[in-house]
Structure 1
Amino acid sequence: VGSRIVQLDRRRETLRDEAGVIAKFGIKPSSIPDYLAVVGDSADGYPGIAGWGSKSAAAVFSQYPHLENIPKDWRHWDPMVRRARPLAESLFAAWEDALLFRTLATLRVDVPVLTSIDDLLWRGPAEDFKRTCERMKAPDLFRRALARKR
């Protein structure tokens, strides 16, 4: 998110630039994966961290942009963060989960992108499909797949 990158809200059919993300979530766009890691995302199937909601996450990530920046000792947290002790306890008890959820919330840009619609054309069954059909005792499945190729 920035001047050239935006967040699309498909449900509301709106686009948000950096200022829009800050207005909506109370944090900078770079903190969104960390925010989603602790509050969860039911659409993507991860629960977040117990006790964390949108208000507490916004308060924490407005002070500490990423999970690694959050002090382990709640007494060192910014005084503006309410319920620091239970938040810290739940976060650090589920630290590995939080890191996993952040990974799940992060858009991957290192995957190959189709260069042509032809990349989607059916080219017949993969080489090991015949062996799989034989193992499954389903020779007709392989024959039907070959017939589709033609």
Structure 2
Amino acid sequence: MHIHLVDGTYELFRHYHAVPPARDADGREVAAARGVLHSLLALVRQGATHVGVATDHVIESFRNDLWPGYKTGAGIPPDLWAQFPLLEEVLTAAGFVVWPMVDVEADDALASAAYLAAADARVLRVLICTPDKDLSQCVRGSRVVQVHRRTRVTLDEAGVRAKFGVAPTSIPDYLALVGDSADGYPGVRGWGAKSAAVVLARYEHLEAIPEDYRTWTANAANPAGLARSLAAQREEAFLFRTLATLREDVPLFSDVESLRWTGPRPGFEALAARLDAAVTQPPRDGRAG
């Protein structure tokens, strides 16, 4: 069997910016949630049998306690924020397994689900459906892969190495060095994607990088400057790696068969009809029609 793990938060954001707004009879904005629903039903029509969807029921997580600049829900448009519970409601009614995350993030749920599914010998392939670079750390060979559904790009382990220059297991170290503006941490001064890839391709993890740059066998530009910067921000670098490392211990399910899609639940048709009857509004500035 193949297991499809979907980043519901990403899908909701993507559809919010890709489709015109629409309101149901109660005046609720529903277009993005409706778009995600149709997208996942299309995934089933294309052959997906076992599907799990992770959402950020709240944006903040334990990582906000570790780093004050970590991402929050500030700035999320109210009509997008209001669709998070709607998305969870409609996907559950449609028969999908949904994991609304509170203390941890949707990314942690996807990583945990991938770990649990890959441990089952019946599973032939795990497909993590998100473009989020954090999830590249979960890729294993060609059995656990990352899928960007919009661009139809699939990354196996070789694909991750080709894209980032490092192995999947080095992705948290890579992000610690280069930073992640989307998640709100800056990385280590002076380190960029190229230097991080060159050094980590040789040493794999932060603690293995020699303090004395003169002993480096990685052909990085300005090794002295890189070594000084890493030494000065060593504690921050390890903290950033902690922020970038996804949890694999979230207890989501005990049997992958619980992810099998068996069809909509009672009441789904009425809810879907309300969404499909929503009246489309003129596109807002910055949103595609």
Note if 1:91 corresponds to 2:230. Answer: yes
Whether 1:65 aligns to 2:211 is no
Q: Which residue of 1 aligns with 2:143?
A: 4
**2:161 & 2:229 partners in 1: Cα distance?**
25
In 2, the alpha carbon distance for the partners of 1:13 and 1:98 equals 33
The structural deviation recorded for 1:78 is: 1.5
Greater per-residue strand proportion: 2
Secondary structure of the structure 2 residue equivalent to 1:6: strand
Whole-Å Cα distance in 2 between the matches of residues 4 and 60 of structure 1? 27
Task: State the alpha-carbon separation in 2 of the partners of residues 19 and 70 from structure 1.
Answer: 23
Give the distance between the partners of 1:94 and 1:83, measured in 2 at CA.
17
Percent identity of equivalent pairs: 62
What are the ranges of 5 or more consecutive residues in structure 1 without an aligned counterpart? 117-150
CA displacement at 1:14 relative to structure 2:
2.7
- Cα offset for 1:83? 0.8
> Does residue 28 of structure 1 match 2:164?
no
**Alpha-carbon displacement from aligned partner over 1:33-87 (angstroms, at most 9, x marks no partner):** 1000000011111110000000000110011100011001111111512211000
Q: Give structure 1 regions of 4+ aligned residues with deviation exceeding 6 angstroms.
A: none
Partner of 1:80: 219
Deviations 1:110-143 (A, max 9, x none): 2232789xxxxxxxxxxxxxxxxxxxxxxxxxxx
CA contact (8 A) 2:202 2:218 kept: no
Q: Distance in 1 between matches of 2:161 and 2:186?
A: 23
Alignment of 1:14-25 (within 5 A): 14-25=153-164
Instruction: State the alpha-carbon separation in 2 of the partners of residues 14 and 79 from structure 1.
Output: 30
Q: Secondary structure at the match of 2:144?
A: coil
CA RMSD, Structure 1 to Structure 2 (Å): 1.9
Aligned length: 116
More moved, 1-10 vs 22-31:
1-10
Q: Which has the larger radius of gyration?
A: 1
Q: Which secondary structure does the structure 1 equivalent of 2:154 belong to?
A: strand
Distance 2:171 2:218 in 1: 22
Q: Which has the higher contact order (CA 8 A, sep 6+)?
A: 2
DSSP 3-state at the match of 1:45: coil
